[in-house]
Structure 1
Amino acid sequence: MLDDELLSTHQQELRRGTVVLACLLILRKPNYGYALLDLLERSGFAVDANTLYPLLRRLEKQGLLTSDWNTDESRPRKFYRTSDLGGELADTLSRDWDELHAAFRTLKGES
């Protein structure tokens, strides 16, 4: 029987890169961190805030996201958006994902 800790470790490894792609796709429309957490969770990507915010900062530093502060409301919010470079990466990674999905289906005998 599969150990819960072993399963959790491997699921985390599998999902780590998919969260980057999910963020780049979702953030083609500007959004802020808390709303992004909610969207990710509703889409099946359970991400902890302590994981998401450093990821957003890293993607911004890499030029894959841009950000702007919205101070129109009582609580200022930092809105992130996928940059042109991030959009190119999202498109490429999406194609790679589709190819990998097809390869896994072949391995499973699903053609």
Structure 2
Amino acid sequence: MAPYDELLAALEVELKRGTLTLAVLSQLQTPKYGYSLLQDLVDKHVDIEAGTLYPLLRRLEKQGILTSDWDTAESRPRKYYTLSATGNEIFKKLSDNWRSMTRQIEQLLGGEDNGDH
């Protein structure tokens, strides 16, 4: 891989890192187990792999943003994740921040009327 391609790839990873957390939180208003969450995100064209998702879920649970419960009713036990009360508040704040930042970036990139007439 050429140095330019390596640099671009590294910057793209950096750009996506925080957005993946917001994407995951957005899908956990109702309980979901890891694989179903992964499929939902992929179906919605979010580029995420299991090797990224599962550690993220464990980290968010450790931080108190998610709660989890095991469902052992079926032949294969599944761990279901959902937003905690703190997670709901954090999700709302991050969503507001995301909307504000995207408006600012759109203005900088010339995607919205920035008031210059």
TM-score normalised per structure 1? 0.92
User: Which residue in 2 is equivalent to 1:59?
Assistant: 60
2:30 and 2:18 mapped to 1: Cα distance?
20
2:42 and 2:74 mapped to 1: Cα distance?
25
**1:53-74 deviations in Å (ceiling 9; x for gaps):** 1111110011000000001111
2:87 aligned with 1:86: yes
Matched residue SS, 2:70: strand
How high is the sequence identity, in percent, across the aligned residues?
51
User: Which residue in 1 is equivalent to 2:74?
Assistant: 73
**1:46-101 deviations in Å (ceiling 9; x for gaps):** 11211111111110011000000001111000000011101111110111111111
Matched residue SS, 1:3: helix
**1:25-45 deviations in Å (ceiling 9; x for gaps):** 101110000111111112222
User: Which residue in 2 is equivalent to 1:11?
Assistant: 12
TM-score normalised per structure 2? 0.87
How many residues are treated as equivalent by the alignment? 110
2:4 and 2:41 mapped to 1: Cα distance?
26
Q: RMSD over aligned Cα, in angstroms?
A: 1.4
Which protein has the larger Cα radius of gyration, Structure 1 or Structure 2? Answer: 2
Letter in 2 for 1:66: T
Q: Which runs of 5+ in 2 are unaligned?
A: none
